[in-house]
């Protein structure tokens, strides 16, 4: 099953309604099992599911702390997928009984203070980065979004390492899934630690939380940051660069020592 599916639709154009075909972003149900135990179920785009699972286990279950090696096996059944993860490490993972939808960022939390307090602080970066470099990278990321180009219905997340290295980009119908996928993809390429996480849309608390768990100090987004994302970023020593377009951006959090100044 691919990320894009052609479906019959009626299209309205200049007063007439006609039958046509439209490219839509595919959405499927993904059930994740770890050592035969059901852990969670996600609604996601069907490609790069091994990366989705690797990234999701790292950002939601802190598997990056365990340095866990594991294998994935994917079974397809119509529009549902079962991803079986096997590992020699004994893991105690809490199971979710609800489906994590493509718009769900903090579906199981009921207190805002807990969301902020449970987000770890990130390390100070070793060098500085310019806003111009981040904006160039966000523009370049658009060239790696075939799903969005055909459907207009997919988000992208990218990892910026430096201007000498190619961006690592993944797409998904869910913003947080795209982040999980690009983080999961990072484990299969030999790159240094990323300088920044790039987002094709807005930045909410869920994305800040995921980036913090991977010790990523900067998030640059084309869209806005939410109030909770801003508050959490400040509390976790992270810098948000939102509305990063043309020659402008809104900076939230630490600036000195990580963002280059031209004046």
Spatial separation of the C-alpha atoms in residues 196 and 184, rounded to whole Å: 15
- Do residues 216 and 148 share a domain? yes
Locate the DSSP E strands across 37-167. 37-44, 70-77, 80-87, 99-100, 155-160
Spatial separation of the C-alpha atoms in residues 193 and 162, rounded to whole Å: 10
Task: Give residue 89's pLDDT.
Answer: 74
For residues 148 and 200, the answer to whether their CB atoms sit within 8 Å is: yes
Q: For residue 251, what are the CA distances in angstroms to 23, 118, 137, 243? A: 36, 23, 17, 9
Task: Give residue 102's pLDDT.
Answer: 54
In a domain, 121, yes or no: no
In a domain, 4, yes or no: no
For residues 243 and 226, the answer to whether their CB atoms sit within 8 Å is: no
Task: Give residue 113's pLDDT.
Answer: 82
Q: Which CATH number does the domain housing residue 78 bear?
A: 3.10.20
Q: Which CATH number does the domain housing residue 229 bear?
A: 3.40.140.10
What DSSP designation does 15 have?
A: T
In a domain, 14, yes or no: no
Which residues, given as ranges, of the chain have pLDDT below 70? Answer: 64-68, 92, 96-111, 190, 263
Out of 23, 28, 104, 107, the active site residue is 104
What six digits make up the tokens of 126?
Answer: 């070793």
- Do residues 101 and 205 share a domain? no
- Do residues 150 and 248 share a domain? yes
Active site (annotated) includes residue 104:
yes
For residues 151 and 4, the answer to whether their CB atoms sit within 8 Å is: yes
- Do residues 90 and 145 share a domain? no
The CB density around residue 93, as the number of other CB atoms within 10 Å, is: 18
Which range marks the domain in which residue 182 is found? 131-252
Phi-psi region of 99 (alpha: psi -120 to 50; beta: other; left: phi over 0): beta
In a domain, 125, yes or no: no
| pLDDT tens by residue, 107-140 | 555 567 888 888 999 999 988 999 999 999 999 9
Q: Please, how many CA atoms are within 13 Å of residue 226, restricted to the half-sphere of its CB? A: 14
In a domain, 20, yes or no: no
């Amino acid at each position: 099953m691919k990320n894009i599916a052609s479906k019959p639709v009626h299209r309205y154009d200049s007063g007439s309604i006609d039958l046509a075909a439209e490219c839509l972003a595919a959405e499927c149900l993904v059930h994740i099992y770890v050592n035969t135990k059901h852990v969670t179920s996600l609604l996601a785009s069907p490609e790069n599911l091994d990366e989705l699972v690797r990234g999701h286990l790292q950002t939601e279950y802190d598997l990056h702390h365990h340095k866990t090696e594991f294998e994935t096996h994917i079974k397809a059944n119509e529009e549902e997928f079962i991803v079986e993860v096997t590992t020699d490490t004994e893991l105690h993972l809490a199971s979710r009984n609800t489906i994590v939808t493509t718009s769900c960022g903090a579906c199981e939390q009921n207190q805002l203070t807990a969301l902020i307090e449970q987000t770890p602080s990130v390390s100070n970066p070793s060098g500085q980065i310019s806003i111009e470099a981040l904006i160039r990278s966000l523009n370049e990321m658009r060239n790696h979004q075939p799903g969005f180009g055909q459907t207009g219905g997919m988000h992208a997340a990218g990892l910026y390492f430096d201007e000498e290295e190619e961006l690592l980009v993944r797409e998904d119908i869910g913003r947080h899934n795209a982040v999980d996928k690009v983080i999961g993809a990072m484990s299969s390429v030999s790159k240094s630690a990323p300088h920044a996480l790039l987002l094709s849309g807005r930045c909410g608390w869920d994305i800040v939380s995921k980036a913090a768990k991977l010790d990523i100090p900067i998030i640059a987004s084309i869209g806005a940051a939410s109030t909770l994302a801003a508050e959490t970023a400040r509390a976790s020593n992270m810098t948000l660069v939102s509305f990063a377009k043309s020659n402008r951006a809104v900076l939230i959090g630490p600036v000195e020592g990580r963002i280059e100044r031209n004046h």
